[in-house]
Amino acid sequence: MKTLMVAALALAALGGGLCDAAMAQRVTYTLEMLPPPGPLRSAPNSHPNPYAADAGFFRMPAGRVMGSTSAVAVDSKGHVWVAERCGANSCAGSSVNPIMEFDGEGNFIRNFGGGLTVFPHGFFIDHEDNVWLTDARVAGGMGGQVFKFSPDGQLLLTLGTKGVAGTTPATFTEPNAVYVSKEGTIFVADGHTPYRNIARIVKFAPDGRYLGEFGKAGRARGELEVPHALAMDSKGRLFVADRWNNRISIFTQDGEFIDAWTQFGRPSGIYIDANDVLYSADSESRRPVGYGFNPGWKRGIRIGSAITGKVTAFIADPEPEPDRYATSSAEGIWVDRSGVIYGAQVKERSVIRYFRAR
């Protein structure tokens, strides 16, 4: 059987660009373990792009540079929030405040959250403008938690046990994403490294009380491998960016499998707006055999309907040779009320604003 030797350094980069030395162990993956490429529908990369990119929108505070980020969100005031990795690709040992608020013109307002996280990853702003952040790595007695902050930075709720990895009701291994329904139910996607047999969606009451979980690691329909992001449509269906399976998997809020869609590429980030427009950020599709294996699919942001599943627009990754990278272009994604898209980028260490140009 033909095998591939893949450094975990690269595998951890599926959502992180680079990882720390503690993750740099070698593991063996067989070709049979690789995800099947998404079936090529008619011209999956040829949809029109009506958007223009604005790379210089955010004005960082003096002396501060943006680190890698997969986390961006917009609140009810139109303020844009970014969680970046402390000017680097990790917040381990740093006191820098990773959560930053900008006004609707890109001007810096405030920051907070320093000294709490190892690897800021998933981000969400709920209907009360509370800010939620997942810490997707456990290292040095820290990490593996989900935090809820008030808009002024007060820590309101913590899920998970600091520095302890696990799959109990009180622990996470690699919490990728958090989503809070209008009713306040909390969903956390856990499991960032493929083939560790950890791929679950954990459900909590608004006060943090454990309600249950669903999801099973695997490739079959209804199973998950690297549930990397979460979104919900107007029907209350939960959409999971089932990244290592090159698809979006759709469930009821109680975990009943509904369907799986491959037409939105290999999703790292997903967002569904109030009109059920679905935005999917594909930051990894690659031709070569190995991680990101999804030949025929280009990286970029695909836009379509969460109701019909039809893709109508595509913002292509501008990187001319994306096959060289573990990740490129937008990974985290959010869309404001006027339809402006914000894409959080790991490799490029930036957030790009996309607005309709035509």
CATH label of the domain that carries residue 219: 2.120.10.30
Nearest one of 58, 59, 86 to 352, comparing CA atoms: 58
Structural domain including 211 reads 3-356
Q: What percent of the chain has pLDDT over 90?
A: 85
| Helices and strands per DSSP (H, E), number in the chain | 1, 28
Q: Is a pLDDT exceeding 50 seen at residue 22?
A: no
Q: Are 322 and 268 in contact (CB under 8 A)?
A: no
Strand ranges of the sheet holding 131-135, from the earlier edge strand across to the other edge: 120-125, 131-135, 146-149, 155-159
- The residue ranges of DSSP E strands in 131-222, in sequence order, are 131-135, 138-139, 142-143, 146-149, 155-159, 175-180, 186-190, 200-204, 210-214
- For the whole model, what pTM was predicted? 0.93
Q: How many residues does the chain have?
A: 358
Q: Are 239 and 232 in contact (CB under 8 A)?
A: yes
Q: Is a pLDDT exceeding 70 seen at residue 154?
A: yes
Q: Is a pLDDT exceeding 70 seen at residue 11?
A: no
Beta-bridged to residue 190, according to DSSP, are 175, 200
**Residue-level pLDDT at 30:** 60
Higher pLDDT, 29 or 168: 168
d(CA 39, CA 274): 29
Q: Work out the pLDDT band at 225, boundaries 50, 70, 90.
A: very high
Structural tokens at position 246: 């090159």
d(CA 190, CA 167): 9
Number of domains in the chain: 1
Average pLDDT, the chain: 91
200-204/186-190 β-pairing: antiparallel
Higher pLDDT, 356 or 26: 356
Q: Are 283 and 346 in contact (CB under 8 A)?
A: yes
- When pLDDT is averaged across residues 65-81 and rounded to a whole number, the result is 98
